[in-house]
Chain A
Amino acid sequence: SSDLTQDPAVSVALGQTVTITCQGDSLRNYFPSWYQQKPGQAPVLIIFAKNNRPSGITDRFSASTSGNTASLTITGAQAEDEADYYCNCRDRYGDQLIFGGGTKLTVL
């Protein structure tokens, strides 16, 4: 099986742009999905496919993938964007799904 690697923590000043990355071999074959999780709440899907947002998700979130690295960009970060963010995709070596370790985003 393979892994997805994320930076444990990232910070951004209010209103600025921040990128959260996810690295792994499986990203050469699968677009990841991205989830936002706030304390005490279930994860929420924010990005899927190449760069699709479910209905109701702000367009401050966007994503891209190149080689073995996927990026989630938050443009004009707001206080409510402070949360944990997880990437997820199918493992290129099997049928299982894999999660990155998560990135804790702090909005300063």
Chain B
Amino acid sequence: QVHLQQWGAGQLKPSETLSLTCVVYSGSLSDYYWSWIRQSPGKGLEWIGEINHSGITHYNPSLASRVTISVDTSKDQFSLKLNSVTAADTAVYYCARRDYGFWSGSHYYFYYMDVWDKGTTVTVS
């Protein structure tokens, strides 16, 4: 059973760089994308970006100028860096496994995040 565990600094000052790493246990980075999602206090979920084992990344356009997601296949982990943080970046950050498929009957693709870690709170103050 794949599970994810992340670690990183939970308290930052404005203008610093947020750095989180998510480790994949009992599974492989191959065949999936690996996502970062955040949730500001009292707000909804916001997708930050994702990466696959080859290092192909996709980012939320609203955060792309400040975000870098990287992967280290030798350690089965992937990382998030968000630079120039402000109080608006205070949130619970989640890492998740993202899979996808194609429903041939409807010619629809579908994407889903089926494994999540418990999240870590990052406070910028």
Contacts and interface: CB of A to CB of B under 8 A. Distances in A.
Given A42-B94, A43-B116, A86 B44 contact: yes
Interface string A77-93: 00000001010111000
Interface string A19-47: 00000000001111101010001111100
A29 B111 contact: no
Interface residues of A, number: 32
A43 B94 contact: yes
30 contacts: A29-B108, A30-B109, A31-B103, A31-B106, A31-B110, A33-B112, A33-B113, A35-B113, A37-B45, A41-B118, A42-B116, A42-B117, A43-B37, A43-B45, A43-B113, A45-B112, A45-B113, A45-B114, A49-B101, A86-B44, A86-B45, A88-B113, A90-B109, A90-B111, A97-B35, A97-B47, A97-B50, A99-B37, A99-B44, A100-B44
